[in-house]
Structure 1
């Protein structure tokens, strides 16, 4: 999903500053969370089916259901905290949230700056087009307009595909994938680069005449990101997820949102 902007230096500085006493006292991230009694998840609340607002304006989704169950098993309350996605590293580093859990793509740069769980979902950046558009492969987008979510992994995928980037007429950024797909529907763009999981869900639930090209831009994995020093909390959440996978809870939640268990937890 969304791209961590180049805040590595700033994040490192904030982490070092905020973490000096922690290094002396040791990692007490799990104890602090349990003492506070609340697990705060930072997310973009417009990223279905992982985290989004339903018709009642409640934040729901696959990641939300997983995190709620993790919170229950940790013995704490759960709170979904919508954040400005471009500022998510600062939100985490300053302690406003406990983790970033919202289809976050794991990259080497992010692994250097953050403490990650193991991957829980495999994903890919793909191109969504209108059915019967005549676009069957990425090279068919030559001279055409591409849409994508600003600050997302779709942007990374396009940057990592220089031939594709050079071939298109223009790249148009949108606030979220829903706006990009709406523009695709009215012909403002000819294709939208986005997460495969999100694309499949959008096509299934909207009934709009879209399709995903079989040729993708890049494979990726989703993980849960914590502050670099919060190893105990990271490990406890991972341990809890693996227990949930072993007793069938993860599969049940996945089937609710995806129709089958597509997770890679404990596999």
Structure 2
């Protein structure tokens, strides 16, 4: 009896050990699959490339009166897509979540006046720069604000998740002097500009490319751009971290679009001059 009991116990233990090993193996396999899924294939292997954008960012990528997504970056993306022999799909996203959307594989590119910064380089791969930009201070034409120091005690706005916010936050002492001790942030620049027009804000910090296009459309006499600004930057296209295969192919296609004059013509269409970085 004792031998039979011992044999039963040994058999049960053997089953438990076997199950344990199987579970560990399955768990390891699941983890490996999850890791592989996260790493993913290169976007270059896809037939359709999904571009994530803020669809209110004129003139780079925005919805027109007919509800179609248009803009400089939209035209440029389509031109590059042809060189890559890829279909381009435009996907509006929450701009503050752009890097997360890219990392999760919901989009393949961040392309919408996306400024190149050291902080962002930690999260994404960047294409070569293709446009220069400056973070400018915009006020209403009759405002008594003439310099950065005049922003003390004023309500200053910017788009959440934008490099305008980053640029202002670098000048912490100045920002603390604002009304409320911080920026008033908005989901998009259009909302910030509307609050400026309604005088709920005294100034906004925004991309110069957007500001000048907006001012031209709404009446340049209504606004002014201060001489002082929050620094210059360059636009690039965000590609998933580690996808160097796509970066190389993308830059080659972008260079071809610039070299054959297509990018220059697109620039003239939207800015009345060729401002593309050669």
Residue ranges of structure 1 left out of the alignment (5+ in a row) = 1-15
The separation in 2 between residues aligned to 1:20 and 1:204, in whole angstroms, is 44
The separation in 2 between residues aligned to 1:155 and 1:220, in whole angstroms, is 13
Asked if the contact 2:186/2:192 (under 8 Å) is kept, the reply is yes
Pick one of 135, 157, 160 that aligns with 2:170. Answer: 160
Asked if the contact 1:19/1:229 (under 8 Å) is kept, the reply is no
Aligned to 2:256: 243
CA 1:186–1:70 in structure 2 vs 1: closer, same or farther (change >3 Å)? same
Aligned to 2:207: 195
Aligned to 2:241: 228
TM-score, normalised by the number of residues in structure 2: 0.82
> CA-to-partner distance for each residue in 1:62-111, whole Å, 9 max, x for gaps?
00000011112222211101112222222212222111111111111211
Q: Which has the larger radius of gyration?
A: 2
Aligned to 1:49: 59
Give the CA deviation at 1:163. 3.1
TM-score, normalised by the number of residues in structure 1: 0.86
Asked if the contact 1:126/1:217 (under 8 Å) is kept, the reply is yes
What RMSD over aligned residues (CA atoms) do the two structures have, in Å? 1.7
Alignment pair present for 1:119 and 2:122: no
Residue ranges of structure 2 left out of the alignment (5+ in a row) = 1-33
Aligned to 1:12: none
Comparing 127-136 with 52-61, which one deviates more in the overlay?
Answer: 127-136
Alignment pair present for 1:205 and 2:223: no
The separation in 1 between residues aligned to 2:39 and 2:100, in whole angstroms, is 19
Pick one of 102, 105, 109 that aligns with 2:112. Answer: 102
Aligned to 1:151: 161
The separation in 1 between residues aligned to 2:189 and 2:38, in whole angstroms, is 39
Aligned to 1:77: 87
What SS does the corresponding residue of 2:212 show, helix, strand or coil? helix
Asked if the contact 2:139/2:223 (under 8 Å) is kept, the reply is yes
Asked if the contact 1:42/1:80 (under 8 Å) is kept, the reply is yes
Alignment pair present for 1:86 and 2:96: yes
- Runs (4+) off by over 3 Å: 18-22
The separation in 2 between residues aligned to 1:168 and 1:255, in whole angstroms, is 38
1:17-56 alignment, distance < 5 Å: 17-18=35-36, 28-30=42-44, 32-33=45-46, 37-56=47-66
The separation in 1 between residues aligned to 2:195 and 2:140, in whole angstroms, is 11
Aligned to 2:6: none
Aligned length: 242
The separation in 2 between residues aligned to 1:90 and 1:176, in whole angstroms, is 18
What SS does the corresponding residue of 1:179 show, helix, strand or coil? helix
Pick one of 253, 261, 266 that aligns with 2:274. Answer: 261
What SS does the corresponding residue of 2:273 show, helix, strand or coil? coil
More helix by share: 2
